[in-house]
Structure 1
Amino acid sequence: MQQRNRKPVNSALQKRIEELVASQGGGYNEDLVADMIGTSLKLLKDVKHRGDVRIIQTALRELRYAFKLFEPYAGVRKVAIFGSARTRPQKPEYKQAVEFARRMVEAGFMVITGAGPGIMQAGHEGAGPEKSFGANIRLPWEQSANPVILQDKKLVTFKYFFTRKLTFIRQSDALALFPGGFGTLDEGFEALTLMQTGKSQIMPLVLIDKPGGTYWKTWDKHVREHLLRNELISPEDLHLYQITDDPAEAVKWITRFYRNYHSFRYVKDLLVLRLQHAPSAGALRSLNEDFADIVKGAPFQIIPATPEEMEDEDVPHLPRLAFGFNRKSYGRLRELIDRLNTL
């Protein structure tokens, strides 16, 4: 069906684009690549300002390279570590970041940081370069990647923060934030916003303070007193993050999140959760009773991999729990995942 306000496809142009794709030997997702070529050609008439076109050009280049860099490691879970670039090695937060990264690697994860100094370097020190990714950003004062990741092939440098942040969220299975400045808070709030609105996968987000520290406790107090009290967020949104001053506890929370839960995706009107173990008949009845408030349409049910998932070879061997989700109660969805992990 033709979309409203969308110009009809020029069949002659479409054929030439398809021939161009074929001349390159074809490859993955030929239909989507052809669509991008067609969209790029529209820039010749639609966007006059050169700076605007350069943004599109650079963003496409950066994302293509970043996705290529991460592709060989798609089967390995990763944790992104954020925190201040100004944190010195003698600070307890720095030492905690080293310990946290080391423990995460021992648990089978790889580590992604912003590749700079401070907490970012601490994360790479704990993980080691072979288990690290660096997502650096070009700044006016020429920020260089830290020496741990500088010569590693798993380092990518971005011009734009938005492509860098998208890469962090897209490639991560968990997020850990240590005390930091505007950038750290920006990353944290963006991750919460994306999970709260269903624009990203639900994943563990742990806020790690120094022993006895109050940085994240004060932040949490602000969230509760100003956002929650004034009904700017919902009580269930508080389930999207956890606070600790113990790196070992943070690691336990992250690994426990994937004890049974694997991932989710939407298939038509169903939210399909892939699990290591399907709930029993009794547990299924309890889920339908306890989480009826987030169901819109089909109740909780055990299903095989859907045809749409099979087309993508999307872990077809795992059992599925599917239901009609109201697509707004993502804090409650996090509670559901926590319940599934106790089965």
Structure 2
Amino acid sequence: MSKKHHKDVPQEKDFTGGMIHSASCSYVGSTGEKELDDKIMQWAKSMDHDGNFCLLAEMLTTAVRLTRGAVTQGDFKMMNRALKEMRISSEVFYPYRKIKKVGIFGSARTKPEEVEYQTTVKFAERMREEGFMTITGAGPGIMAAGNEGAGKDFSFGLNISLPFESSANSFIINDEKLIDYNYFFTRKLSFVKEADAAVALPGGFGTMDEIFEALTLIQTGKALVYPIVLLDAPGGTYWKFWNQFVEEHLMRLGLISESDFSLFRVTDDIEVAVKEIVDFYSNFHSYRYIGDKLVIRLQEKLDSKAFAKLSKDFSDIVKSGEMTQCGALSEESGEEELAVLPRIVFRHGRNDFGRLREFINAINLAKTAKN
């Protein structure tokens, strides 16, 4: 497997960038019975092997309270099924956690002879050559094209149970990386959580839903910034007209910001789409929040002049203080794999994530320090 364009990613991948509070027993809560609380904590400590006993105790406490609260049997079944689907997803993706992945969306109605299908096959092939695995919805049409282009070894299929789509496509069926979901929301969580980029070909309501979901989560800071590419077949106008709608209605009415257009790229060129994704990770590695500090990890440190220019050009995203280049912070002690990476650290207001995307682009274009 080629590793030319990707580095090892954190073993513990937090797609929220550290916005979820650290595990603490102060969040466990209570069943209402101290004796039972003590038993749950004792049992959680005896079962835990990774220092997550507080989280385990909290989950057990929540489960007990569900059985005693205002929860119907239907709600209880739904919560249980959702948790089970999330567990299965994590188990399937875990062995491949250090390999970058691209999610591909598009119409299930696209036929193999259509140019959009062939465009998807070629794009997935190119991403495989760049060392990326592909995640699709496992169905027919564009989804099948994505799995065909990536090949089974480089494919995941997130299949949703629908009355009018009986099984997964032939390129992913019976593969160990095929996951069946009953709920769209658990399936969508896996798409956003596990992907390092998203690419959409022309599609219907489902495609619109997935793209707007990803854009909303990134725009609001609820998920990490990553590349979103809206890919047409050569000469296609599907996404051009979509972009025109966004410009003429959302932007003109002041419903989005100009920098939000930096969160996605519209193109009908496969190589432009591939470059958009690969270049995003050329020097930028990852980021997380520690309090109000944004910690951006790089593959290579920037030289002093390039960093000074970057600090000046993007002073508007600094809430207070100044940007600094440094090593790993003490609060990152639990992430040994990332300790060697240089950092850019500053206080961030957690808004205007389109501007943050522009900052990441600038990092990738900036000159790095010579060893």
Category of TM-score, reference length = shorter chain: over 0.9
1:128-177 CA deviation, whole Å, 9 max, x = no partner?
A: 00110010001123531001110110010110000000100000000000
**Percent same amino acid among aligned pairs?**
48
1:190-244 CA deviation, whole Å, 9 max, x = no partner?
A: 1000110111111010000111111000000000000000000000001000011
Kindly state the Cα deviation for residue 34 of structure 1 after the two structures are TM-superposed. 1.4
1:306-333 CA deviation, whole Å, 9 max, x = no partner?
A: 2232213351111011111111110000
Q: Which residue of 1 aligns with 2:323?
A: 300
Kindly state the Cα deviation for residue 110 of structure 1 after the two structures are TM-superposed. 0.4
Q: Which residue of 2 aligns with 1:331?
A: 354
> Which of 93, 97, 101 is 2:120 aligned to?
97
Q: Which residue of 1 aligns with 2:230?
A: 207
Q: Which is further off, 52-61 or 113-122? A: 52-61
Q: Which residue of 2 aligns with 1:228?
A: 251
> 3-state SS of the aligned residue for 1:311?
coil
Residue 169 in structure 1 maps to residue 169 in structure 2: no
Q: Which residue of 2 aligns with 1:265?
A: 288
Q: Which residue of 2 aligns with 1:239?
A: 262
Kindly state the Cα deviation for residue 27 of structure 1 after the two structures are TM-superposed. 4.7
CA contact (8 A) 2:139 2:165 kept: no
CA contact (8 A) 1:112 1:132 kept: yes
> 3-state SS of the aligned residue for 2:300?
coil
Distance 1:316 1:2 in 2: 27
CA contact (8 A) 1:116 1:143 kept: no
Distance 1:42 1:9 in 2: 9
CA contact (8 A) 2:31 2:64 kept: no
Distance 1:146 1:8 in 2: 45
Q: Which residue of 2 aligns with 1:75?
A: 98
Change (3 A) 1:297 1:70: same
CA contact (8 A) 2:108 2:143 kept: yes
Q: Name the aligned partner's letter for residue 365 of structure 2.
A: T
Unaligned residue ranges in structure 2 (runs of 5+): 1-23, 367-371
Distance 1:316 1:127 in 2: 32
Change (3 A) 1:2 1:170: closer
Residue 147 in structure 1 maps to residue 170 in structure 2: yes
Q: Which residue of 1 aligns with 2:37?
A: 14
> 3-state SS of the aligned residue for 1:200?
coil
> 3-state SS of the aligned residue for 2:345?
strand
Distance 1:40 1:201 in 2: 29
Distance 1:282 1:163 in 2: 45
> 3-state SS of the aligned residue for 1:341?
helix
Q: Size of the alignment, in residue pairs?
A: 342
Distance 1:296 1:27 in 2: 35
Change (3 A) 1:22 1:301: closer
* Higher RCO (C-alpha under 8 Å, 6+ residues apart): 2
Residue 49 in structure 1 maps to residue 72 in structure 2: yes
CA contact (8 A) 2:318 2:348 kept: yes
TM-score normalised to the size of structure 2? 0.88
Q: Which residue of 1 aligns with 2:363?
A: 340
Q: Name the aligned partner's letter for residue 132 of structure 2.
A: F
Q: Name the aligned partner's letter for residue 185 of structure 1.
A: M
Residue 291 in structure 1 maps to residue 297 in structure 2: no
Unaligned residue ranges in structure 1 (runs of 5+): none
CA contact (8 A) 1:47 1:53 kept: no
Kindly state the Cα deviation for residue 101 of structure 1 after the two structures are TM-superposed. 0.4
Q: Which is further off, 206-215 or 28-37? A: 28-37
Residue 185 in structure 1 maps to residue 208 in structure 2: yes
Q: Which is further off, 21-30 or 325-334? A: 21-30
> 3-state SS of the aligned residue for 1:86?
coil
> 3-state SS of the aligned residue for 2:83?
helix
RMSD: 1.9
Kindly state the Cα deviation for residue 298 of structure 1 after the two structures are TM-superposed. 3.0
